[in-house]
Amino acid sequence: MLNSFLTTLREKKTDTADFRAAAHKLAELLAAKTGELIPEEKVKITTPIAKGQGSRIPHEIILLPVLRSGLALLPAFLRYFESARVGFVGMKRDEKTAIAHEYYRSIPPITKKSLIILLDPMLATGGTAVDTITLLKKAGAKESQIIFVVCISAPEGEKIIRKKFPKVRMVIGAHDKKLNAKKYIIPGMGDFGDRYFNNL
Ligand code: URA
């Protein structure tokens, strides 16, 4: 399923409605994969029939979409983590230099119980992700408290994140080949935000 949603996203002739639908379905699968990385703790429960044992996530989840593309993943993650706090980081990529600059930041308080799920569909050079993880660490997060969710990664970006932040866990839909001269992922899917927000 994951690959068929990715194929719809990659295909140039996919229209906006189908692109959005595929992005939302892929996000559901990535949310489920993210859930599998979160250890649960045992709790006592009472069913209508008997006492028993269940398990719950002991963390306070913070969902952190990177504006604007990360917003596409947010609805699916809210369905899984329905009482999560939501923060935002706004990063705009300069089309000439491919370097992102921060234009907005709203991060909920980070405590020992926080687990931050960082949402950004495209991991290209890794510049945006390095800046965002760095600011999360300055705000008090440990690397082990961060899970980074990506639809498609380029080796360049993945390598830099794994090297700089070895304890950050990553959930990645597909590992693509490389970046082109304009720092777009090859084969990738073009500009995710422009296609999702119908801004081409
Ligand atoms: N951002 C995108 O939307 N697409 C890419 O290929 C790289 C960064």
Best residue among 67, 119, 178, 183 to mutate for probing ligand 1's pocket (most ligand atoms within 8 Å of CB) is 183
Sorted by sequence, the CB contacts under 8 Å of residue 132 that are 6+ apart come out as: 64, 66, 89, 91, 118, 120
Best residue among 122, 175, 183, 200 to mutate for probing ligand 1's pocket (most ligand atoms within 8 Å of CB) is 122
Domain carrying residue 73: 2-196
Query: Which residues are annotated as catalytic?
Result: 93, 97, 191, 194
Is the pLDDT at 175 greater than 90, yes or no? Answer: yes
What is the residue type of 14? T
Is the pLDDT at 21 greater than 90, yes or no? Answer: yes
pLDDT, tens digit, 9 for 90 and up, residues 32-77: 999 999 999 999 999 999 999 999 998 899 999 999 999 999 999 9
Nearest-atom index, ligand 1, CA of 183: 7
Is the pLDDT at 93 greater than 80, yes or no? Answer: no
Longest dimension (CA), the chain: 64
192 CB near ligand 1 (under 6 Å): yes
Average pLDDT over residues 102-131: 96
The domain total for the chain is 1
Q: Find the angle CA(131)-CA(180)-CA(7) to the nearest 5 degrees.
A: 90
Where are the strands (E) in the chain, listed by range? 41-46, 51-56, 60-67, 85-86, 88-93, 100-106, 114-119, 122-123, 146-153, 169-175, 178-179, 185-186
Q: How many CB atoms lie within 10 A of CB 19?
A: 20
CATH number of the CATH domain containing 93: 3.40.50.2020
Q: Is-above-0.75 flag for pTM?
A: yes
Tokens of 22: 């595929």
Nearest-atom index, ligand 1, CA of 193: 3
Is the pLDDT at 98 greater than 80, yes or no? Answer: no
Instruction: Please tell me the distance between residue 123's alpha carbon and the centre of ligand 1 in angstroms.
Output: 7
Q: What is the pLDDT of residue 95?
A: 74
145-173 exposure pattern, b = at least 16 Cβ within 10 A, e = fewer: bbbbbbbbbbeebbebbeeebeebbbbbb
CB distance 125 to 98 below 8 Å? yes
Identify the CA nearest to 11 among candidates 1, 24, 23.
Answer: 23
Residues forming beta bridges with residue 147, ordered by sequence position: 117, 169
28 CB near ligand 1 (under 6 Å): no
